[in-house]
Structure 1
Amino acid sequence: MAAGLVWALPAGYARRLAPDRLRGKAVAVVMAGIPVALALGVPGGALLGGWAGRRAVFSAVTVVAVVLIGWIALTVPDLPGGPRGGRIPIRRTLAVPGVVPVLFVTLAFVLAPTVLHTCLAAFLGRRGMAGSIDLVLPAFGAASLLSVWVVGAHIDRRPRGLVLASAALFASAAAILATGSGGPGAVYTAAVL
């Protein structure tokens, strides 16, 4: 449930808060938190967990979450929801040309990196890079932040081109990783693509 909220609500909320000309940038800024969390949170949590113990890390994350919830409740404006009778049935929404392909691309874009992150430690172990996860994830995160900036700068003018470029870059990274050759350089290249 939390993942559904993280992926769905902040982007739509940012879009509604921003003026029309800045909507794409607002979504990019809000969604930048996900690569930051993956790049810094995972290796940082592992490092702190080894030093202070997992319970201390989970306790610290809980305290930060409670503080953030309070901050959001106090500072983020409340927006009215849609009218009760104004909802469009899901079948009619899916019948709109382009909606199903966009949903499929979104599924692939979210599912593929999630699977990759889940299997990353085992994958790196098979490549003889078991101790490198704390370097690979920040490389991925830094590249993700750069890509969020690029997308944010161009999304309002070139959405289709950005989706195609993103798909091509991800396919290239997957092809590099699937070949199983190239050593650490190939892994880092794939991580930043």
Structure 2
Amino acid sequence: MTTDSLRTARSTPPPATRTRSPLPTALLLAAVGFVTLLTEVLPAGVLPAMAADLGVSESIAGQSVAVFALGCIVAAIPLSRALAKLDRRTVVLLALIVSALANAGTAVAPELLTHLATRFVAGLVAGVVWAMLPGYTRGFTTPERFGSTLGVVLSGATLGFALGVPAGAVLGEEFGWRAVFGIVAATTALLGVLAVVVAPRVAGSARGRSTRMGAALRIPAVVTILVALAVCIIGQNIAYTYLAPVLSSRGTPVPLGVLLATFGVASVVGTLGAGRLANLRLGMTILTAALLGTVGLAVVAWDPPVVVLLTAAAGWGLAFGAYSVLFQVAIARVAGNAADAAQSALVTVWNCSIATGGAVGGIILGTWGPALLLPAAAALTVVAIPLCAVIARAIRRG
């Protein structure tokens, strides 16, 4: 037996790994996703205090989120390839260690440049985490359980997105923004300890076709999924990022917090539900989510009565929560041996789309005012419907 085969044998999980319940590992990875997403959005909840402490304007301090996203975009493909041979538990442990150190650095950073440097490092870690989670999940569960297990894993990120800003605001007022980042650092370190106990070893992939981006991008269905994802997430972030000025300009009687809470709770339900439905009718579920998200966003844009508005926001949230699971399961299914590279591309497209949505929304708001924001977002998501129909057909054909 060669040295490489011995290494593979040691890093490949025993058959029992796939027969035991995947739930403990899935919940651990959900917690990893939660703290990773919480780390990304936390500055928005403590922005005024953070800006004052660092001695900069709020617009400058807000670049803390942009720098994190930049790190995530930069890391997803090259670092995922560099770490491809390591077993997945080792990658999780490394990510948690570096993330804990980065958050601790953010908590004590004396000025803006140091603060931004620690945020960039945290973003690098996030890029690796998002690219790795679907492949790791495939390794410790059976194909029949993959969709539902991935739904549990990704629900942590959805919960972090829904709760990150309000949680940061509440904790920041109580303890100060630096203490909040310290709490996140300590929580991340604790998850590292739990990972040693709970997380199974799952072999990485040898460098080859599975880690070459060109192999993934030559598959038409992969490209279609990436384009559909970009359209959905750009439209989503044009609307979500600028809901506050839209509601303010309308004089909507529903408080922003109530609307966001409705959206957030529905997103978590959508993530968990999509995981189960992905195992049954993946193509039809993707198409249904695109339709539901577009209709929900269009109704919110129409400024309907309160009950209809909250119902539409819930439908929009259900679709958004489902996207993270459905597109990742779909791309893993159609990419074959290029699945790891395709997942890295998906993470990059997702984060670029978040940044693009915020930028485009800002241009629309500054040029034409808030009235055009939601109609423009809804019109963009309409494009996703025929693309998702093509994806559904590709999945049916296998």
**TM-score interval w.r.t. the shorter chain?**
0.7 to 0.9
More displaced stretch, 108-117 vs 158-167: 108-117
**Unpaired runs of 5+ in structure 1?**
none
Aligned ranges 1:25-64 → 2 under 5 Å: 25-64=148-187
Give the structure 1 partner of residue 120 of structure 2: none
Q: TM-score, normalised by structure 1?
A: 0.83
Give the structure 2 partner of residue 148 of structure 1: 271
Alignment coverage as a number of residue pairs? 192
Counterpart Cα distance in 2 of 1:68 and 1:130: 41
Which one of the candidate residues 6, 10, 13 is aligned to 2:136? Answer: 13
Give the structure 2 partner of residue 191 of structure 1: 313
Counterpart Cα distance in 2 of 1:95 and 1:86: 12
Counterpart Cα distance in 1 of 2:215 and 2:133: 25
Q: TM-score, normalised by structure 2?
A: 0.44
Counterpart Cα distance in 1 of 2:173 and 2:256: 14
- RMSD of aligned alpha carbons: 2.5
Divergent runs of 4+, >6 A: none
Aligned ranges 1:1-193 → 2 under 5 Å: 1=72, 2=123, 3-87=126-210, 89-128=212-251, 132-179=255-302, 181-182=303-304, 184-193=306-315
Counterpart Cα distance in 1 of 2:309 and 2:153: 28
Counterpart Cα distance in 1 of 2:272 and 2:143: 18
Give the structure 1 partner of residue 61 of structure 2: none
Give the counterpart letter for 1:107 in structure 2. A
Contact 1:121 1:130 in 2 (8 A): no
Contact 1:140 1:192 in 2 (8 A): yes
**Unpaired runs of 5+ in structure 2?**
1-71, 73-122, 316-398
Give the counterpart letter for 1:116 in structure 2. A
Contact 1:122 1:130 in 2 (8 A): no
Counterpart Cα distance in 2 of 1:27 and 1:169: 21
Counterpart Cα distance in 1 of 2:231 and 2:252: 27
Give the counterpart letter for 1:52 in structure 2. F
- Cα–Cα, structure 1 residues 131 and 65, in superposed 2: closer, same or farther, change >3 Å? farther
Counterpart Cα distance in 1 of 2:140 and 2:134: 10
Counterpart Cα distance in 2 of 1:129 and 1:59: 37
- Cα–Cα, structure 1 residues 110 and 78, in superposed 2: closer, same or farther, change >3 Å? farther
1:161 deviates by 0.7
Contact 1:43 1:133 in 2 (8 A): no
- Aligned with 1:4: secondary structure? helix
More displaced stretch, 15-24 vs 141-150: 141-150
1:177 deviates by 2.9
Give the counterpart letter for 1:94 in structure 2. L
Counterpart Cα distance in 2 of 1:63 and 1:57: 10
Identity of aligned residues (%): 30
